[in-house]
Amino acid sequence: GASLKKVIETKQFNAFITVSKNEAEKQAEASLQRFKSKQSKSDLDGVPIAVKDNFCTKDIKTTCASKMLENFSPPYNATVCQRLLDAGAVLVGKTNLDQFAMGSGTVDSIYGPTKNVWKCKADSNDFHIAGGSSGGSAVAVASGVCFGAIGSDTGGSTRNPASYCGVVGLKPTYGLVSRHGLIPLVNSMDVPGILARNVDDVVSILNAVAGHDKQDSTCLTNYCSRLPPANKMGIKGLKIGIPIEYNCEYLSDEVLDMWDEIAQTLQNEGAIVKEVSMPHTQYSIVCYSVLNQCEVASNMARYDGIEYGYRADDDHSTEKLYAVSRRTAFNDIVKNRILTGNYFLLGRNYEKYFNQALKVRRLIMNDFDNVWEDAQLLLTPTTLTEAPLYSDFIQKTNRDQCAFQDFCTQPANMAGIPAVSVPIKLSKNGLPLSLQIMGRNLSEPMLLALAKYIE
Ligand code: GLN
């Protein structure tokens, strides 16, 4: 009850699209009864958790922040949601995002932008962005109304807002957590992400949602063990790589200095910290944009206004109905990606763009395979700067550079490896700054242990 009240009170941040008050109250009541009869189901029983609005929730609106799905209530729960409910968690509501998770700001939602909680003045027109696309989930945690939240991560969408909002954000190994019921952006890179105030809370949520699901054919079968709470491990002899290519254009001095400082500290405390090279990092963003647009073109074909989603009034012909429904209900970003993706997939272009991008993706993955010979974990920035001001972020020139926001986060999705963003300190302006740790596939225990060491 108290938590729901807080959710409603923090409306000024626009973190939630839907607050599922009735359902959450019922879940909380059932949890209380279990608690009284000493039958709590797990450490998440009765705990308030928010879910990004691109995960299906049975009979609760799931909009992807788009007019296309404005009135869509799925008939089933995403596996992640079902597992949280099975663990006794209270799902308080659905959080704001960029339309269909395309973006890095949570500024492109039909429900308006989400505001960062840091330095946020309720009466001001300008504010710092929450980052995205899982900005609503990050703010649900950062504002203190939820213990944790579920986001999605295709190119950085969980880690980017976690970094800007000063919470921990985990992108698990691809296939560790089921995508069943997560509305797809790029099937070969999408993973459900976890946001929480600290590493131990992330571990609790990960344990509830991870593990094989026969409804997702890409879900791993060979992982079932529960992670222990991340112990503060000793770091003596731990090999930590600093990939030099992540010191990129637009990286702010403040982030660079902090990266240096933490690397130095880890070295002083016994880790073996050394520079490593990942030469194909520079192609990641361009390669991602080709693969993203191709998969988007294919994934968005399902929205024809017939089975579900927005349907236009124009019924002159079936084609016209499709066209007008899609033209009216998608924003320009979605439309651009569909058009470009279909162009890349034309018979005459397929080899030149899509196939070429797949080859570049392989080179980027090979960089990681090679680097694990020298390093057990990698330490990099998450975002290049502190959270930008909304008025700056939406400037046209900055929008064109938007993809650059994902420079440090995107490669992990190419390779499928786990990565976590950990808040480190506040910038001179009083906004959170974070670093990212990456590890090889299924190295979550070691990754989260180092995260806990530096958090
Ligand atoms: N910013 C990237 C994009 O717009 C990644 C988004 C995501 O991870 N969902 O596609």
Nearest-angstrom CA–CA distance, 450 and 153: 21
Pocket test for ligand 1, best of 137, 154, 285 (most atoms within 8 A of CB): 154
Q: Which of 52, 94, 115, 171 is catalytic?
A: 52
Ligand 1 touching residue 153 (CB < 6 A): yes
Say whether 240 sits in a helix, a strand or coil: strand
Among 101, 111, 108, residue whose Cα is nearest residue 183? 101
Q: What's the gap in Å between 104 CA and the centre of ligand 1?
A: 6
Residue reference for tokens 């990456």: 438
Q: What's the gap in Å between 145 CA and the centre of ligand 1?
A: 25
Nearest-angstrom CA–CA distance, 164 and 434: 8
Q: Which of the residues in the chain have pLDDT under 70?
A: 1-3, 8-9, 122-123, 223-232, 397-402
Among 171, 178, 216, residue whose Cα is nearest residue 194? 171
Ligand 1 touching residue 93 (CB < 6 A): no
For 170, 191, 215, 389, 408, the CA distances from 298, given in Å and listed in that order, are 27, 18, 20, 34, 27
- In 18-109, which residue ranges form alpha helices assigned H by DSSP? 21-36, 79-86
Would you call 52 a catalytic residue per the annotation? yes
Say whether 234 sits in a helix, a strand or coil: coil
ipTM > 0.95, yes or no = yes
Q: What's the gap in Å between 102 CA and the centre of ligand 1?
A: 5
**Which pLDDT does position 6 carry in this prediction?**
74
**Which pLDDT does position 284 carry in this prediction?**
95
For 89, 118, 216, the CA distances from 32, given in Å and listed in that order, are 11, 33, 33
Ligand 1 touching residue 414 (CB < 6 A): no
Among 67, 78, 218, 217, residue whose Cα is nearest residue 152? 78
Ligand 1 touching residue 406 (CB < 6 A): yes
Q: Which atom of ligand 1 is nearest to the CA of 185?
A: 9
Ligand 1 touching residue 305 (CB < 6 A): no
Ligand 1 touching residue 190 (CB < 6 A): no
Q: Which two tokens stand for residue 194?
A: 């976890």
Peptide bond into 133 cis (omega under 30): yes
Nearest-angstrom CA–CA distance, 164 and 186: 23
Nearest-angstrom CA–CA distance, 159 and 32: 33
From the CA atom positions of the chain, what is the Rg in Å? Answer: 21
Ligand 1 touching residue 132 (CB < 6 A): no
Q: What's the gap in Å between 205 CA and the centre of ligand 1?
A: 23
Nearest-angstrom CA–CA distance, 210 and 162: 20
**Segment 50-88, tens digit of pLDDT:** 999 999 999 999 999 999 999 999 999 999 999 999 999
Nearest-angstrom CA–CA distance, 53 and 251: 31
For 232, 311, 335, the CA distances from 328, given in Å and listed in that order, are 52, 9, 10
**Which pLDDT does position 230 carry in this prediction?**
62
Pocket test for ligand 1, best of 55, 108, 133, 290 (most atoms within 8 A of CB): 133
* Strands of 419-426's sheet in order across: 16-19, 90-95, 48-52, 148-153, 191-196, 168-171, 419-426, 432-439, 377-381, 239-243, 272-276
Q: Which of 3, 104, 133, 421 is catalytic?
A: 133
Q: Which of 157, 204, 325, 443 is catalytic?
A: 157
pTM here is 0.96
Q: Which two tokens stand for residue 321?
A: 């109905």
Q: Residues 6 or more apart from 337 whose CB is under 8 A from it?
A: 102, 292, 293, 296, 297, 300
Ligand 1 touching residue 136 (CB < 6 A): no
Q: What's the gap in Å between 282 CA and the centre of ligand 1?
A: 17
Ligand 1 touching residue 102 (CB < 6 A): yes
Q: What's the gap in Å between 25 CA and the centre of ligand 1?
A: 33
Nearest-angstrom CA–CA distance, 49 and 141: 9
Ligand 1 touching residue 107 (CB < 6 A): no
Q: Which atom of ligand 1 is nearest to the CA of 403?
A: 1
Nearest-angstrom CA–CA distance, 393 and 391: 6
Q: What's the gap in Å between 105 CA and the centre of ligand 1?
A: 9
Residue reference for tokens 């879940």: 27
Q: Residues 6 or more apart from 308 whose CB is under 8 A from it?
A: 69, 72
Would you call 157 a catalytic residue per the annotation? yes
The full length of the chain comes to: 455
Q: Residues 6 or more apart from 111 whose CB is under 8 A from it?
A: 14, 17, 65, 96
Q: What's the gap in Å between 273 CA and the centre of ligand 1?
A: 30
Nearest-angstrom CA–CA distance, 342 and 71: 27
Contact 168, 195 (CB under 8 A): yes
Instruction: Tell me the three-class secondary structure of 144-209, residue by residue.
Output: CCCCEEEEEECCCCCHHHHHHHCCEEEECCCCCECCCCECCCCCCCCEEEEEECCHHHHHHHHHHH
Ligand 1 touching residue 163 (CB < 6 A): no
